[in-house]
A and B are shown apart, each in its own frame.
Chain A
Amino acid sequence: MTVSTTTRSAAELTAQARDVLGVSRLTNRALTSWLHGLPGVDQVGCEGRVAGLGTRSIKTTSKAWAIDTAISMIDLTTLEGSDTPGKVRSLCAKALVPDPLDPTTPRPAAICVYGDMVATAKTALGDSGIHVAAVATAFPSGRASMAVKLADTRDAVKAGADEIDMVIDRGAFLSGDYLTVFNQITEVKQACGDAHLKVIMETGELVTYDNVRRASYLSMLAGGDFIKTSTGKIQPAATLPVTLVMLEAVRDWRDLTGVQVGVKPAGGIRTTKDAIKYLVMVSEIAGEDWLTPEWFRFGASGLLNDLLLQRQKLATGAYSGADYVTID
């Protein structure tokens, strides 16, 4: 799997942002008026659309395809204070062979760990093609000085991370200091080098769908390669309506600038049924271009087991159980 990283300097990103906004100088005022000029989200309409899409019935061969696609889109995640090298290695082993009973099972897209576990994961995964994603920038709160955030990012990249999941400064965003958020993302983007940048907006703390839309545009404007819903540490984490707003944003962004940005819902997606609802939504809202691991990911840990159980059910014809997958 190839990931097309767009390595642009901070100056280029700022220049592009000026073009998009149609201003000569990128100020917080210009950003504010542009972000607040975005159309508001119709909350009832959005939730209604999600509920409607959620009723689609996906069966037989479509279901088999959806399960395999969803597995290949997973960022298999362990982000606990209690993570050990052994736990990371066992997670990597699971990514390499998700279902020992069935070698045709696809592999997940990436392993997502804290920065200090990147080297361990990298060694365990070898040249399998499975990416290593590292959360950085004082994950999950993002409350640290910029120097610390950048050092955190560089460390992870140096250790071999292919993807960096950064958190935005929600405090700055909510207090209307959009320029700070913009600058921080562009700086982290530079620190990433060739690594792919995913921008975590922590939608559970953004309160409104309008804010989600604004944060999405701001993240894309600042050069994020992916926009991601949540850290998984805050409730609510990923929800269908929030992801719908983000999918609309990446679709419209490509129309506006020609740049395609990926979407990653993370946290709270535990069942195959949920995952399939997301896939239906990706197809309907963003389009089939996004239905690949390159442009859509699930941040999850337990989801993989449920997908494997459903896969076994399709293969054997009998409902499977937790005895037939690993305990993570």
Chain B
Amino acid sequence: MSRLDVRKTYKLYIGGKFPRSESGRSYAVQSASGEFLANASMGSRKDVRDAVVAARAAFGGWAAATPYNRGQVLYRVAEVLEGRRAQFVDEVAAGEGLTARAAAGVVDAAVDRVVWYAGWTDKIAQVLGNLNPVAGPYFNVSAPEPTGVVGVLAPQASSLLGLVSVVAPVIASGNTVVVVSSAARPLPAVTLGEVLATSDVPGGVVNIVTAQTAEVATWLAAHRDVNAIDLTGVAGAEGVDWAGLEAEAAGNLKRVLRPQVANGEPVEPDWTAAPGLERIRAFVETKTVWHPKGL
């Protein structure tokens, strides 16, 4: 007698919980070769709104955590990610059409990427901050602080390594994040949510909405309570108006991280390349303080 399949319900990850989409919608996710993989929740603008509320609520605590503590938490994420290796290899292989061997390489790179950013959390201030020389008996200190709630359009093609590479730098400095996952390859994002939920990341620090990018991106870009937006996922997304998103983002002077461009078109970066500090630097604000020098 054959055993019945126990299929996983892929849901959203908002405020540390796994709700279905408020809209009640779902969509079929296909593998790279066109076979049915699973049904994923199709997030709506209200799910994005709820995610922003959760991210805002979590911001105070996460920004106030010591950088050392954030590093520990991120390292823990890497540990749990490693523990789920087999599952991620399957999902990445199916979704991105890779061989098992290539997919394993991608998962390894994703784990290493998280560890890399975990190491950066307590070094950001040293590299991006400064003790400024001034003409007077003052210490003049510039220090980076997190921007706030950051909206991220995750890369469309690289569903795990790309996703981790855009989320980790944002939260490393103390921001909280609302991620709109790859529309066609959302499954690793949902599983990453399960990793985050079990690895000491406070609920609401990372919120993942699986959705049609074009449908929800405008609402995220226009949202007045979002302080910055990463448009990486514009590359290769269907029907997304990049200029329109930037115009909406200007409504409350959001910081905008533009996608990489080649031949006038947005393209996905090479995620296997060494990351550098650009993505951390894009989402910090410099605060400069004058402090009188004692004798």
Contacts and interface: CB of A to CB of B under 8 A. Distances in A.
Interface of A: 312, 316-324
Contacts of B224: 312, 316, 318-321, 323-324
B74 to A, nearest CB: 27
Contact of B225 (A316, A317, A320): A320
Interface string B45-58: 00001001000100
B222 A319 contact: yes
A321 B223 contact: yes
A196 to B, nearest CB: 37
A322 B248 contact: no
B56 A322 contact: yes
19 contacts: A312-B224, A316-B224, A316-B251, A317-B222, A318-B219, A318-B224, A318-B251, A319-B49, A319-B52, A319-B222, A319-B225, A321-B52, A321-B223, A321-B252, A322-B56, A322-B225, A323-B225, A323-B252, A324-B224
Nearest to A320: B224
A324 B56 CA distance: 14
A301 to B, nearest CB: 18
Contacts of A322: 56, 225
Interface string B204-229: 00000000000000010011111000
- Looking at chain B's contact residues, the main secondary structure is helix
Contact of B248 (A318, A321, A324): A318
B223 A318 contact: yes
A321 B49 contact: no
Contacts of B223: 318-319, 321
- State the 4 A-B residue pairs at the shortest beta-carbon distance, nearest first: A321-B225, A318-B222, A321-B224, A319-B223
Contacts of B56: 321-322
Contacts of A317: 222
Contacts of A320: 224-225
A312 B224 CA distance: 10
Contacts of B52: 319, 321
Nearest to A312: B224
Task: Choose among B49, B52, B223, B225 the residue with the greatest number of A CB atoms under 10 Å from its CB.
Answer: B225
Contacts of B225: 319-323
A323 B149 CA distance: 12
A32 to B, nearest CB: 48
A321 to B, nearest CB: 2
B218 to A, nearest CB: 9
Nearest to B49: A319
Given A312-B224, A320-B225, 15 more contacts: A317-B222, A318-B222, A318-B224, A318-B248, A319-B49, A319-B52, A319-B219, A319-B223, A319-B224, A321-B52, A321-B223, A321-B225, A322-B56, A323-B224, A323-B225
Nearest to A324: B224
Contacts of B226: 321
Task: Choose among B223, B224, B251 the residue with the greatest number of A CB atoms under 10 Å from its CB.
Answer: B224
Task: Choose among A312, A319, A322 the residue with the greatest number of B CB atoms under 10 Å from its CB.
Answer: A319
Contacts of B252: 321, 323
